């Protein structure tokens, strides 16, 4: 399961939950009598969606559609909560929380970069290029197929964005910002498809070393 699709579905589930809470609160407030407060309506929404059913503080007897509204809210609440918790579980399965948010932060950092360099392959040559770019003050992104390489590199180059993936995959190259890059270094035996240069800007240069 793709980590970024999990985040996207998690955002959708959270938005649906918030909308359901707002809709339920407004509904119970409208169905209640004159003494019903917004806190009472929010409380009723919470115990209804969670199916706890602890104690009804809003009387549903005064409105003919009160129990029908409650029933609909229970079904929608069960569906949204199931969707929300299933994606939370998927998030934990994909990896630990710290690693997940680190990847997310790096992706956002890459999205803001422009006229940077992309290094595909983090062997000896790739690291030497990275150190040279750091010394000259250039922004760059590193990538490698081996996830174990990323752990050692992050310790050495703490502020450098790094992504694990296949550099022959066009969609992965776009995540690295190839379409906005000034140059691309392909090292450590990575195969670089020349067709990917269509993503690059006119001034982008590529360099290969097998």
Half-sphere exposure for 61 (CA within 13 Å, toward CB): 3
This prediction's pTM? 0.48
pLDDT, residue 155, reads 65
How far does Cα 165 stand from its chain's mean position?
17
Residues of the domain holding 15: 3-94
d(Cα 160, Cα 197) in Å, to the nearest integer? 23
Residues 30 and 86 occupy one common structural domain: yes
pLDDT, residue 81, reads 92
d(Cα 87, Cα 10) in Å, to the nearest integer? 6
Domain boundary among 47, 66, 94: 94
Q: What is the DSSP string of 99-130?
A: HHHHHHHHHHHHHT--S-EEEE--SHHHHHHH
Residues 14 and 69 occupy one common structural domain: yes
d(Cα 154, Cα 4) in Å, to the nearest integer? 21
Counted domains in the chain = 2
Is 101 a member of any domain? no
Residues 64 and 136 occupy one common structural domain: no
Helix, strand, coil fractions of the chain, as percent rounded to 5: 60, 10, 30
Angle among Cα 76, 80, 83 to the nearest 5 degrees reads: 145
pLDDT, residue 137, reads 86
Domain boundary among 94, 119, 150: 94
pLDDT, residue 159, reads 58
CATH of the domain at 53: 1.10.287.70
Residues 174 and 148 occupy one common structural domain: yes
> Which parts of the chain register pLDDT below 70?
1-4, 53-54, 94-100, 150-160, 188-210
């Amino acid at each position: 399961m793709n980590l970024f699709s999990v985040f996207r579905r998690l955002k959708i589930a959270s938005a649906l939950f918030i909308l359901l809470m707002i809709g339920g609160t407004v509904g119970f407030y409208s169905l209640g009598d004159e003494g019903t407060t917004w806190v009472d309506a929010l409380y009723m929404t919470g115990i209804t969606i969670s199916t706890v059913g602890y104690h009804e503080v809003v009387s549903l007897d005064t409105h003919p559609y009160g129990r029908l509204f409650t029933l609909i809210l229970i079904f929608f609440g069960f569906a949204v909560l199931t969707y929300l918790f299933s994606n939370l579980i998927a998030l934990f399965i994909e990896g630990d929380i710290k690693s997940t948010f680190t990847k997310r932060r790096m992706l956002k950092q890459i999205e803001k970069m422009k006229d940077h360099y992309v290094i595909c392959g983090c062997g000896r040559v790739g690291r030497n290029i990275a150190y040279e770019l750091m010394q000259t003050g250039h922004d760059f992104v590193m990538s490698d197929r081996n996830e174990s390489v990323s752990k050692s590199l992050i310790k050495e180059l703490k502020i450098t964005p790094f992504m694990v993936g296949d550099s022959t995959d066009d969609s992965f190259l776009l995540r690295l910002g190839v379409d906005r890059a000034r140059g691309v270094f392909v090292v450590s035996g990575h195969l670089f498809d020349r067709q990917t240069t269509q993503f690059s800007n006119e001034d982008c240069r590529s360099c290969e070393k097998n």
